[in-house]
């Protein structure tokens, strides 16, 4: 499974945060396998609350920080056409707030690695057209997230 990941970290990280962020590639490769995707290209930015609040306000007209935002580069009903073995499908961009991830990890009582990975997979599934507007959609999306995360050993109990 080929995944081209452009990971940009716009804030200073301590050792625990670096280790947590390093899980992103692992979980997105697992998500791509589970989804049986062709070679893909994904961009992820790790930012602070002020930056994600600005992006949230600019793109969604919601003037508050959030944990994760996704910006797909294709429509879910579009067919992927790969003409070259080296070509990748550009899925889109994911923005994750590190302060929100830390706050939520503490709130839920699991590791920062688990929370960052959860947010990365959540954003990734949004890029693929998954949503959680209805109860059925939410159940499907969250089951898929748990399948991906448990597949790499990041269960809710993960404390690291």
Q: Regarding beta strands 40-47 and 89-97, do their DSSP bridges make them parallel or antiparallel, or are they unpaired?
A: parallel
In a domain, 87, yes or no: yes
Range of the structural domain that residue 120 is part of: 3-151
Q: How many domains is the chain partitioned into structurally?
A: 1
Q: Please, is 115 exposed, middle or buried when counting C-beta atoms within 10 Å of its C-beta (0-12, 13-18, 19+)?
A: buried
Contact (CB, 8 A) for 147 and 33: no
CA–CA separation, 29 and 40 (whole Å): 10
Q: Regarding beta strands 3-9 and 40-47, do their DSSP bridges make them parallel or antiparallel, or are they unpaired?
A: parallel
Kindly report the CATH number assigned to the domain that includes residue 66: 3.40.390.30
In a domain, 158, yes or no: no
Biggest CA-to-CA distance, the chain? 46
In a domain, 138, yes or no: yes
In a domain, 159, yes or no: no
In a domain, 121, yes or no: yes
Known binding positions for Zn(2+): 122, 126, 132
Walk along the chain (160 residues) in steps of 10 and give the mean pLDDT of each run: 84 93 95 90 95 96 95 76 70 96 94 95 94 91 93 71
The contacts of residue 17 (CB under 8 Å, 6+ apart) are 98, 102, 112
In a domain, 111, yes or no: yes
Known binding positions: 122, 126, 132
pLDDT at 39: 86
Predicted structure pTM score: 0.90
């Amino acid at each position: 499974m080929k995944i081209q990941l452009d990971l940009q970290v716009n804030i200073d990280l301590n050792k625990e945060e670096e280790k947590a962020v390093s899980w992103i590639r692992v979980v997105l490769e697992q998500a791509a396998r589970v989804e049986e995707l062709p070679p893909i290209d994904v961009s992820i930015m790790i930012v602070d609350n002020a930056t994600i609040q600005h992006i949230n306000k600019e793109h969604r007209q919601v003037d508050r920080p959030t944990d994760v935002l996704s910006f797909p580069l294709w429509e879910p009903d579009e067919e992927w056409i790969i003409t070259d073995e080296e070509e990748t499908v550009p899925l889109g961009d994911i923005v994750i707030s590190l302060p929100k991830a830390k706050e939520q990890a503490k709130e839920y009582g699991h590791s920062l690695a688990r929370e960052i990975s959860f947010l990365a997979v959540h954003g990734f599934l949004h890029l693929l057209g998954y949503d959680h507007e209805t109860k059925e959609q939410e159940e499907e999306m969250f089951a898929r997230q748990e399948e991906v995360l448990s597949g790499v050993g990041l269960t809710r109990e993960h404390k690291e």
